[in-house]
Amino acid sequence: MALHDYEQRKLDEIEKHLVEENPRMARRFAEFRPIHLITLVAAGLGLLVLLSVGLVVMVIGVQLTAPGLITLGAVLTAVVPAAITWYLVRRAKPAK
């Protein structure tokens, strides 16, 4: 749906003010690329596989009473997904 001339002028004016106030934010919006659904599905499946493998390794470690396997399973189950999430959240936050 096309905008009326008045609406388009107002939007252009708002954009101009935003660029003047915060050029860094304007660059981020100009470079913005939406995440495709297939990327989200692949990331979700990858996380699910990582959690599953971590749980399996941890259960095997408990059955064999192997502290190394238990630790590896715990790292795969909790630490790695948390680190990946932390990295992605930090990367997505705008700098102050």
- Only one residue has tokens 């795969």, namely 76
CA distance 79 to 58: 13
Q: Over its length of 96 residues, how does the chain's per-residue pLDDT go in tens digits?
A: 577 888 888 888 988 888 888 888 878 777 777 778 887 788 888 888 989 999 999 999 999 999 999 999 999 898 888 888 788 777 766 555
What type of residue sits at position 29?
Answer: F
pLDDT at res. 32: 72
What separation in angstroms does the CA of 51 have from each of 13, 21, 58, 80, 82? 49, 44, 10, 9, 11
Maximum CA pair distance of the chain?
73
pLDDT at res. 70: 94
If we measure between CA atoms, which residue out of 14, 45, 11, 72 comes closest to residue 3? 11
Give me 93's structure tokens: 């936050």
pLDDT at res. 46: 86
Give me 50's structure tokens: 């990582």
CA distance 90 to 93: 5
| pTM exceeding 0.85 | no
pLDDT at res. 59: 95
pLDDT at res. 95: 53
